[in-house]
Amino acid sequence: MIDTHCHLNFDAFDEDRPEVIRRAVEAGVSIIVNPAIDVESGAAGIALARQYDAVFAAVGIHPNSTAGFEPHMLEAIEEQARAEKVIAIGEIGLDYHWDLSPKAVQKSAFEAQLALAARLELPVIIHNRDASDDVIAILESWSATLPPALRDGPGVLHSFSAAPEIARRALRIGFYLGFTGPITYKKADDLRQIAGHVPVDRLLVETDAPFLTPIPHRGKRNEPAYIPLMVERLAALHHISGDLMAATTSANAARLFHLPTSTA
């Protein structure tokens, strides 16, 4: 199994990071993708990828970190993107919930990083919170001019939680949809209905650890060892075995991010 979104560099893991990775491997998680939220966390993610065989990194500036965005910052992101084991630009996107950065600045940073990803032929990891219309419109425009290497797999809408129409539009332009702990929550029937209609070859599983902890661990820190809980829920929704869903989502992640299916 592959956890395609986990913030291992966050201080929530400072006291037991090696044990967290060990538990993940013991649970059957072969690869963990660590996305950045700014230049500093990108450097930390790259360092973790160098230290642990199971860890790969993505680099970029999260929308909530864009308030001071300047175009020259792309130079640092591009330099990081060329490091070994960096497999995507992310997480990038728009967040209108927290209002930590002006919408115009968020859009400028988002579009600039999308352009960088296209030039480097790297897929993108997209953050969207309360900004679905703008996110999908920007991605549709961007996807129309992508190089051949990205047309069949431009990226993933991370921790998908938008409307069914947004899912359909994202799938139409080749995106994968990532699902996290909320698909296990009691009141998430609408989200499960969407997940159950996504083609299995476009599904990814994520923890977004240390956040969005699935049932039955909700209320505690999340970690990659809980990926099987998302796999089993998706398997039930698609009426296939957990083993087949694990193999399918791993193959999807490997295809999108050009990953090995195992680091053993």
CB under 8 Å to 128, separation ≥6 — which residues? 93, 94, 95, 135, 157, 158, 161, 162
Residue with tokens 């480097």: 120
Q: If we measure between CA atoms, which residue out of 49, 37, 50, 39 comes closest to residue 10? A: 37
Q: Is 212 within a domain?
A: yes
Q: Is 201 within a domain?
A: yes
Condensed to tens digits (0 to 9), the pLDDT of residues 227-252 reads 999 999 999 999 999 999 999 999 99
Condensed to tens digits (0 to 9), the pLDDT of residues 166-225 reads 999 999 999 999 999 999 999 999 999 999 999 999 999 999 999 999 999 999 999 999
Q: Looking at residue 260, what is its pLDDT?
A: 81
Q: Is 264 within a domain?
A: no
Q: Is 168 within a domain?
A: yes
State both tokens at 28: 């059957």
Residue with tokens 């592959």: 2
Condensed to tens digits (0 to 9), the pLDDT of residues 14-47 reads 999 999 999 999 999 999 999 999 999 999 999 9
Q: Is 246 within a domain?
A: yes
Question: Which of the two residues, 218 and 261, has the higher pLDDT score?
Answer: 218
Q: Is 262 within a domain?
A: no
Cβ-based neighbour number of residue 208 at 10 Å? 22
Find the domain containing 148 and state its range.
Answer: 2-257
Structural domain count, the chain? 1
Condensed to tens digits (0 to 9), the pLDDT of residues 70-83 reads 999 999 999 999 99
| CATH code of 78's domain | 3.20.20.140
Mean of pLDDT values over 59-86: 96
State both tokens at 189: 């029937």
pLDDT band for position 262 (50/70/90)?
low
Condensed to tens digits (0 to 9), the pLDDT of residues 118-155 reads 999 999 999 999 999 999 999 999 999 999 999 999 99
Q: Is 182 within a domain?
A: yes
Q: Looking at residue 94, what is its pLDDT?
A: 98
Q: Is 17 within a domain?
A: yes
User: Do the Cβ atoms of 121 and 147 come closer than 8 Å?
Assistant: yes
